[in-house]
Each structure stands twice: as C-alpha cells, then as structure tokens.
Structure 1
Amino acid sequence: MPTYYIKHITKYSYSNPVIDGANLIRLHPIDDTYQKVASHFLSVTNNPFIETYTDFYNNRVGTFLISEPHDELSIISEIEIITHNRIFPDDTNDIKTQWDEIKSKKYDTDIFDFLKYVSFSGSDGVFNLIKEKNLTEKTPFKAALELCEYVYTNFKYIKGITNVNSTLDDVWKLKAGVCQDFTNILMQMIRMCGIPARYVSGYICPTDDISRGEGATHAWVEAYIPFYGWLGLDPTNNAIANENHVRLAVGRNYDDCSPVKGVFKRKVESDLFVKVEVSTSKSKETAAIPPNTFTGSSTNNSYQRNLERIQQQQQQQQQ
C-alpha cells in the first residue's frame, strides 16, 4: 500500500488584469477501493470559495469565481493518497458468456456512452486487425490487452509531434504521439471491438518499468471487463494500471476530464505554467510558483484546453 504525495501547480499569467474569472477544476482525486485520499489541499489566487459537485461520470468537480481584477491565477493542488494493489480478472468465464454480458449492458446508462466510437482514416485498418487477430473470439480481457500492446508496439512515443488540434487521422498516420494520443487511439480501437472504454486523467508514479508520462498529468484507458468492472490499460507503457496510477477523473474523452477550464473578461495575452511533482515522502517545502513573467505566447479571452500546454510542459520537463 504505497503512499504518494503529489503536488500539481497550474499558473496562468496575463499581459493585463482580467476580471470575472469563472473556473472549473477536476483536481479532486477519485476516492474508492483502490485509492484512498488521506488529505487534499487546494490553494487558489485570492482564496475564492470553491463549490463542489459530482458530475454525470461521478467525478468530483470544483467551481469558483474571481471577480476582482487579477493578472495571474495560481491553482495548487497537494494530495496525499494511499493506493492499493488491484486483483486482476481471473478470466475463467466462458468466452460467449462474457461477450453476452457486455451486450446485455449496452443500454445501461453507465456503459452506453463508452461504446460509441469515432470513424477515422484508420477505421478499416482497425477492423481488419480485429478480424486478423480473431479478437472477438477471445475474451474481452485478452482482446483489450492485445490492442494495448499493439498501440505500444506500433506507435512511437515522440514529444512535440502532436498538439491539441491533432486528430485521430493525424495520429494514425504519424503512428506517433504522447500519452493522450495513445489513449485516444486505444480507446477507439477497444470500442470498435465492442468493448466499452473510457478516458482516464490522472498521474503516474514512476517505477523501474513504468516511466513515460511523468512530470505532468497522465492519461490512459479503462476497459469494461465482464464480471469484473473497469480495468485500466496504459498504452504509453504497455501496462495494466495499478497502484502507481492515480486517477483524477473519467469520461468519454479528454473534455470530460480536463483538469482546468474557465473563462474571463477582457482580451489579453496569456501564458501557462504547469508542473507536477510526485514523491513517496512528504515535503515540508512550500510549493514554488514562478512570478508573472509574461512572454506573450498566446492571445485569447478564455482559457485554451490544457492538453496542448500540458504536452509542452511535459516535453520541457523530460528533455
């Protein structure tokens, strides 16, 4: 039962003060059988009241408003979390029985959204792969594992080759990307095989065997395995998500799981700084936040998706 201490710093710097910043955060870790939140502290610029609610996918979501003028917004999330080793599916049930169990649940509200796949230029190739490997004649567990291994083997982990505007077509053609790209491709492939799959946002706590994706938020897939439940598959590391994967949110795609979203008034230029630190010991040091050193990287009157900038931060930290 390892204990991890995770510090996630998000800071927006603006060229001029903004007002009425309405924000939504998914920075509260999931608290369940496999991960127990021992403590969680959020520190936000101007100390606004953070109201929380549970969304449709059972994620805890926080919202807050900063109405007064501010030229920066810092959000610091500090987590102490205890994770537990998972017992993996025994996979002894009859193959047909398992596929029938999935079919019987396809209209369930907690399954329906995770069966819809998106057609893209590689769709025919994926269907051919499923047929060639006879995946529908294997158990859903084995089929999902084979698809995870396929993505890991056939896609190269290359930082900076994709961005927030990269499509499934782009990633399929490049056969390369980072954790979000691997996750998006694998999620579609698993769904095309007839197995429910959902997007997971969180953190990875590196080990000797698993290291890709550290230094920023991580992403992986959860596949629905009959008579077991949701099983995490990390195509970036070709691993079953276990005690070293800490989950923040789940959903149909990245938009359902993005750590920070928001809008504000006034047209300004903005920069974003993101840093994630993971440790097995508690640090007594105060989280280090850089000063407002605006460099003029973008112009927008609302926050961009975190995905592109998180990828950029990840690239800088891993170079």
Structure 2
Amino acid sequence: MTRLTIRHETRYLYERPVGFGRHRLLLRPRDSHATRVVEASMSFSMPAATRWVYDALGNCVCLMTPEGRSEALTIISRLTIERFPAPLAPLAIDNPHTAMPIVYDRGDRTILAPFVDPATDDPNGMLLDWVRAQAGGTYEPALDFLQRLNRYIHQHFDYRERDEEGTQTPAFTVTMGSGTCRDFAWLMVEALRRLGYAARFVTGYLYSPRHSSVRGAGATHAWCEVFLPGLGWMEFDPTNGLAESAALIPVAVSRTPEEATPIGGMILGDPGKSELSIHVDVRPAGAPADPA
C-alpha cells in the first residue's frame, strides 16, 4: 500500500471582472478496493456554494457556483489517498470468451452497450483498418492483444504536450502519429470499440518519483479501461505502456473525453483576454510539497 498526497491547483485569470455560472468538478476519487480516500478538501479564491452528487457512472461530482464577480478564480483540491498495488501478473484464463473475438454474455452486454458503440465517425475506415492491422487476425488471448496494443501506441506514437483544450479524433491521431495522453487514451478506446470491446475513458493522476521517467506526470492524466469477461474493468495507459499499475490514480470514468473534464463551467460577461494555469503535485505522504 502507498499513501500519497495530491495537490491540484487550477487558476483562471481574466482581463476584466466576470460573473460565474455553475461549475462541475471531477476532482475526488471514489473509494474502492484499490483506492481509499483518507482526507479530502477543496478551497476556492472566492465564496462559492457547493453540492456533492454521484453521476450516472458513480463519479463523485462537486457542483460549485462562485458568488460575486472577480478577475480571477482559483480552485485547489487536496487529497490524501492510499493506493493498493495491483500488478498485472500472468493470469490463467480459462474462460474462452476472454479471447479474440471478444464475447460478452447477455447480462453484461446490456450494461456495456454504451461503451461498445463508437462515439466518433470513421468515414474512410482508416481507424478500423489501423486497429485490424494491429490485431493481425490470428487467435490470441484478448489480454495479450490489449497489452500488445498498449505497448505499440507507447512505442510508435510521439508524445507532445498541448495546452489547448479538447481531444483529437482517433483517426487524426493515427494520421499525425502524435498526441497527448488524452489523445492516446481516446485512440485506444475508440479503436477497441470497433473490434467489439467495451472500453471507457479515464481521467486522474499519475504518480512518478521522477517526473522525467513518465509522460504526463505533473498534470492531470488520461488512460483507457477495458472490460474483460471474468476479469472486469482493466486499466491500460498507452501513453506510458502501463497496465494495471499502482501509479495510475483514477478519479472519473466516462464514455467520451468531454464528459470527464476535471473542471468545467461557464462565466458571465466579457472577460477580454484570459489565462489558465494548472499545477498538479503527487508525492508520498509526509514528503515536502512544492512551493505553491
């Protein structure tokens, strides 16, 4: 078990004072057998009304509405969590459905249907051709294929940070051969759906003792979860080639990247020029924190 502290600061600066509508914050993990929230707090740079709810996927959502007008809004989330390692050891898979092509039983299919149906268009079949080429067409345990695809994206696509919001289409990521963690996660999700897998988009944090050793540390991170019969939802991070890693700290799951935005909301009035800065610090509990 590893105890970690997470400090996530988001700061908005505006040229002119603005009012604020309701904001939707996905910043708190839900307790599970793999993650236990020990302490959690949230602070804002101005008075705000808050209400906590669970969304349809069980994500913890804070609905926050700032009160008044301001030229700046700062949101700081502080967490102490316990993360229980779940290394992906060799598994003896006796269920023949956990092989390609993947087959879900009737009960699972009903629940998983939204995560099997692709959410993006592929008018020229480029994405389908690409993922079929990776699958090869020979009999292979599904878990072996997923690990192989996860490693392939990590090894053959160039990681590039991008400050602009939004996610590339999977076909565009294949064409460019580069992207951010959210682009790679979305590519894997949508590619697997075209082969009949149930896959969903995950956002959270990435713990690395040395930020230079992994891609995406020091910011929010994104990866992919895939449902396998008898094994359940399994984590794959194509940005770093990780699978079922304790370094991945999930906060929210969704069908599309837009539904898993850590902070979303609206402002009222003309802000003029605006600036956004995000800083995430993940470290062992008790270790000195970076200066804010």
TM-score, scaled relative to structure 1: 0.81
**How far apart are the structure 1 equivalents of 2:87 and 2:218?**
27
2:201 alignment partner in structure 1: 199
2:189 alignment partner in structure 1: 187
Shift of 1:47: 3.5
8 A Cα contact 2:98 2:228, kept in partner: no
**How far apart are the structure 1 equivalents of 2:269 and 2:117?**
38
Check 1:217–1:116 CA distance in 2 against 1; reply closer, same or farther (3 A cut): same
**How far apart are the structure 1 equivalents of 2:199 and 2:209?**
25
2:264 alignment partner in structure 1: 261
Instruction: Could you tell me which runs of 5 or more consecutive residues in structure 2 were left unpaired when the two chains were aligned.
Output: none
**How far apart are the structure 2 equivalents of 1:102 and 1:260?**
34
8 A Cα contact 1:37 1:80, kept in partner: yes
3-state SS in 2 of match to 1:267: coil
**How far apart are the structure 2 equivalents of 1:252 and 1:145?**
21
Indicate which of 239, 244, 247 corresponds to 2:242. Answer: 239
3-state SS in 1 of match to 2:214: coil
Per-residue CA deviations over 1:245-298 (Å, capped at 9, x if unaligned) read 11110011211211101112101132111000111133676972xxxxxxxxxx
How many residues are matched?
285
Check 1:260–1:127 CA distance in 2 against 1; reply closer, same or farther (3 A cut): closer
8 A Cα contact 2:49 2:66, kept in partner: no
8 A Cα contact 2:95 2:230, kept in partner: no
8 A Cα contact 2:128 2:194, kept in partner: no
1:90 alignment partner in structure 2: 91
Check 1:221–1:142 CA distance in 2 against 1; reply closer, same or farther (3 A cut): same
1:224-303 to 2 correspondence within 5 Å?
224-269=227-272, 270-282=274-286, 288=292
Check 1:93–1:140 CA distance in 2 against 1; reply closer, same or farther (3 A cut): same
Per-residue CA deviations over 1:203-244 (Å, capped at 9, x if unaligned) read 000156951110100000001011111100010111113211
Letter in 1 for 2:199: A
1:73 alignment partner in structure 2: 73
Shift of 1:35: 0.5
Check 1:231–1:284 CA distance in 2 against 1; reply closer, same or farther (3 A cut): same
**How far apart are the structure 1 equivalents of 2:113 and 2:37?**
29
**How far apart are the structure 1 equivalents of 2:247 and 2:95?**
31
Check 1:138–1:119 CA distance in 2 against 1; reply closer, same or farther (3 A cut): farther
1:64-143 to 2 correspondence within 5 Å?
64-86=64-86, 88=88, 90-96=91-97, 102-105=104-107, 107-109=109-111, 111-117=112-118, 118-120=120-122, 121=124, 122-130=126-134, 132-134=136-138, 137-143=139-145
Instruction: Could you tell me which runs of 5 or more consecutive residues in structure 1 were left unpaired when the two chains were aligned.
Output: 289-319
**How far apart are the structure 2 equivalents of 1:148 and 1:241?**
12
**Aligned-CA RMSD value:** 2.5
**How far apart are the structure 2 equivalents of 1:2 and 1:67?**
38
Stretch moving more, 244-253 or 200-209 = 200-209
Check 1:160–1:50 CA distance in 2 against 1; reply closer, same or farther (3 A cut): closer
Shift of 1:123: 2.3
3-state SS in 2 of match to 1:138: coil
8 A Cα contact 1:223 1:231, kept in partner: yes
Stretch moving more, 40-49 or 218-227 = 40-49
Identity of aligned residues (%): 24
**How far apart are the structure 2 equivalents of 1:131 and 1:242?**
23
8 A Cα contact 1:187 1:198, kept in partner: yes
Shift of 1:164: 2.5
1:219 alignment partner in structure 2: 222
**How far apart are the structure 2 equivalents of 1:124 and 1:90?**
29
Shift of 1:46: 2.1
8 A Cα contact 2:127 2:170, kept in partner: no
8 A Cα contact 1:106 1:115, kept in partner: no
**How far apart are the structure 1 equivalents of 2:279 and 2:114?**
32
1:308 alignment partner in structure 2: none
Shift of 1:126: 2.5
3-state SS in 1 of match to 2:39: strand
8 A Cα contact 2:158 2:177, kept in partner: yes
Check 1:285–1:226 CA distance in 2 against 1; reply closer, same or farther (3 A cut): closer
**How far apart are the structure 2 equivalents of 1:165 and 1:178?**
8
